[in-house]
Amino acid sequence: MIELKLLEDRIRDQGEIVGDDIVKVDMFLNHLIDIELLCAIGKEFRNLFAGEKINKILTIEASGIGIACIAAQYFNVPVVFAKKGVNRNVGSDIYTGEVFSFTKNQKTQIGISKNYLTAEDRVLIIDDFLANGEAVKGLLGICAQAGAKVEGIGVCVEKGFQPGGKELRAMGYHVESLAVIDSVKDGVIRFGSYPKK
Contact footprint for a copy of itself (CB under 8 A): 26-27, 31-36, 38-39, 61-62, 65-66, 68-70, 72-73, 76-81, 83-84, 112-113, 115-116
Q: Residue 38 or 180: which CB sits closer to a copy of itself?
A: 38
Asked if 55 and 122 touch (Cβ cutoff 8 Å), the reply is yes
Euclidean distance between CA atoms 48 and 157, whole angstroms: 15
Distance (Å, whole) CA 56 – CA 40:
19
The CB-of-112 to a copy of itself minimum distance in angstroms stands at 8
- Nearest approach in angstroms of CB 177 to a copy of itself is 21
The smaller minimum CB distance to a copy of itself, of residues 6 and 33, is found at 33
The CB-side HSE value for 109 (13 A sphere, CA atoms) comes to 10
How far apart CA 158 and CA 155 sit, in angstroms, is: 7
Choice between 23 and 175, CB closer to a copy of itself: 23
CA distance to 74, 91, 114, per residue, from 94 (Å): 28, 7, 5
In the bound state with a copy of itself, the residue whose beta carbon lies nearer, of 117 and 168, is 117
- Minimum distance from residue 67 beta carbon to a copy of itself (Å): 8
